[in-house]
Amino acid sequence: MQEAFVNLNGIPTHIITWGKWIEESLNDVQELVICITGNPGLPGFYTEFGGALQQELSSDGQNLPVWVIGHAGHDDPPEASIREVPQLSGNEELFNLGGQIAHKIDFIKKYVPRHVKIHLIGHSIGAWMILQLLKEQEIRDRIKKCYMLFPTVERMMESPNGWLFTKVVMPLYSVFGYVFFKLFNWLPVWIRIFLIQIYFLIFAIPNHYIGTALKYTKPSVAEKVVFLADDEMGRVRGLQRDLVEEHLHLLKFYYGTTDGWVPVSYYNQLKLDFPQVDAQLDSKGIAHAFVLRHSKPMASIVSKMIQQN
């Protein structure tokens, strides 16, 4: 595993790779895997998934590099870095959905040679971003297949979690949120770690994500995560039917059965609207936020999808 912060669309961005680093020569590479995260978009939450996926693919003789890119502003570089993430105020266009899509386009154009075909994984809102990337012919021509995992590509506000976010979380955050994260970060680091460990124990989350969780609680990061989520509620409404139909041959959907963001009814409707769609319903009880507890089972499922293509 290799990781570093690189400049994308004017923003220092955390990239994690397995197999080949982004700045290494790809002359001997014909295909690679790029994973666009969900929200929050911190690549640290995807280390177990990315590592397991690359290992699965290598065991099959494929040896495809796996790259994970997070979202602009969701991960600050180390304090010693000379580069800083711009503040949210006055730079909203860098951190909303439009800015995040420009951010991913910049990454692909800058680091993926034209001869390399991309297996593009989109988790949650990452799947919606993939649909927007398909509008760009220069990007579309490089894509081998898109794997839409627990895809929030329609009616986010109408989902159970969408209702909770808009009616409860956002009103509370607008009053108390920034102050809460500010106060939390004034606590000594050992107390912050202890409180996160208690949360992780309650929800059976592995402790190796503690470092990433600490980054997530920084006020400058948390506000951008919430800002993007709020933009999602307003932008991700009806399914972009023409876009889906045009690129049906490139899309593979994977839906959960206990997903508060993407109810099973969304899967059923998709199958009705597009009888030829390649869509699969989970049978293993994997949660929407699969990276927290189900990274290895999900990596095994995705590796099989990739091997078929």
**Active site residues per annotation:** 124, 259, 288
168 φ/ψ angles, rounded to the nearest 5 degrees: -120, -55
Distance CA 284, CA 298 (A): 9
List of long-range contacts for 200-203, beta carbons under 8 Å, 24+ apart: 203/292
Q: How far does CA 227 lie from the centroid of its chain?
A: 15
Which is nearest to 34 in space by CA: 105, 96, 98? 105
The residues near 177 (Cβ < 8 Å, ≥ 6 apart) are 222, 223, 226
